[in-house]
Amino acid sequence: MLLKTIKGRHSILLILMPVVIVLLWMGALLHSESLTAGQNQMPLYELLLFLTGGNNFVLNLIACLLLILIAYGMVRLNEQYIFIRQRTDLPAFVFALIATGTVSLGGMHPSLFAAFLLFLSVDRVFKIYQGTATLSNSFDAGFLVGLASLFYLFAGVYIFWFWMALAVLGYLRGKEILAGLTGFIVPVFFVVAWYIWNDNLTELLNTIRNLFSSKNSLGVVSVFQYSYWGILGFLVILSSLYMLNVYEEKKISSRKYFIILLSFFLVSALSFVFFRGAGVEQYFISIIPVTYIASHYFVFQKHFWIGECLFYILVISSILIHFIG
């Protein structure tokens, strides 16, 4: 069966995974469109636009590469910290399916770069639990969040997630808080200093103001897209309930990682609710914890046929949405 095969460890699966992403991303590559046309963006994304000449095909190619890197990183992160206590390639495929499942996000968006950097920050946060180099890892986590905010403004709120993670890990101490805050400030400081040096700070402030105040519309969303999100929502709820049911059986480290991932998702959801300018692009960020929680459910679901049926539904709907979405 499909799920039984993919949740195992086969080198051919990891070789095929980029092919899956490229095929599902083909629409964005063949019909390259800008997702941020007519709106100024944060400095590092504007720099990317300058370096690529605003070529949408090149930007979407970079976006595809970022998706592949995150998918591979999903497997590596689990092998290093064993959130899912089984060696499996499944997170890479679950991420590949759901990351490409929102048709309106078929292309490069600043939030995708932010998602990549925030994913790297999760790795640094998990390292803090090991108790070694807590200050440098705290600095790195804050630095990555700061960099992410220079691509996508609303990624900056994840500095609060970092502090929540410190509390969960038992390291909510002055020096770790300060190290993370310093890391966050460093890239922001240099960018602001550059704008001041070039007597252009007003432009940066106007960009930030516009990004905060502009309403990000979902545009025209088909009933099929809503149905797909409904399937994902059902899967998230089911997977979370399953995780809560087996929570006490998990090792302390797995419990803490689960709470950190759940808080990561909640920060994304609250950003969407409370920030006018934060739109559907939050999807790229929120699916990072969703991938692990859903993969955990698929791996340990005791009723084999239920897991297989749900996985088939996810796979088929993730493919069909590109034709009817």
Structure tokens at 88: 């499996």
10-residue mean pLDDT series, the chain (325 residues) = 74 82 86 76 93 90 94 90 82 92 84 95 91 90 96 94 94 92 96 92 90 70 86 91 81 86 91 81 91 90 82 91 79
What is the 3-class SS of 200-226, one letter each residue?
A: CHHHHHHHHHHHHHCCCCCCCCCHHHH
| Buried-exposed string 238-247: b where 16+ CB fall within 10 A, e elsewhere | bbbebbeeee
Tell me the one-letter amino acid at 121.
S
Q: What is the pLDDT of residue 217?
A: 59
Sign of CA pseudo-dihedral 87, 64, 102, 214: positive
Q: For residues 174 and 159, what is the distance between their CA atoms, to the nearest angstrom?
A: 15
* Cα–Cα distance list, 7 to 4, 28, 238, 302 (Å): 6, 28, 19, 14
Q: Which helix (H) or strand (E) holds 116?
A: helix 110-129
Nearest residue to 117 via CA among 76, 73, 75: 73
CB atoms within 10 A of CB 78: 24
Whose tokens are 């800008």? That residue is 34
Are the beta carbons of 133 and 127 closer than 8 angstroms? yes
CA distances from 248 to 39, 126, 235, 240, 261 (A): 48, 20, 21, 14, 17
Per-residue pLDDT, 149 = 96
Q: Which helix (H) or strand (E) holds 33?
A: none
Say what the pLDDT of residue 137 is. 94
Q: How far is residue 282's CA from residue 50's CA, in Å, rounded to a whole number? A: 24
Ramachandran bin of 53, using left for φ above 0, alpha for ψ from -120 to 50, beta for the remaining angles: left
- Within 13 Å of residue 60, how many CA atoms lie on the same side as its CB? 22
- Note the pLDDT of residue 67: 94
Among 114, 134, 133, 208, CA closest to 177: 134
pLDDT computed for residue 218 by the predictor = 54
Judge contact between 118 and 145, C-beta under 8 A.
Answer: yes
Task: Please tell me the distance from the alpha carbon of residue 67 to that of residue 111, in angstroms, as a whole number.
Answer: 12
Q: In whole angstroms, what is the distance from residue 190 CA to residue 182 CA?
A: 12
Q: State the residue for tokens 């993969």.
A: 295
In terms of Cα–Cα distance, which of 233, 255, 237 is closest to 246? 255
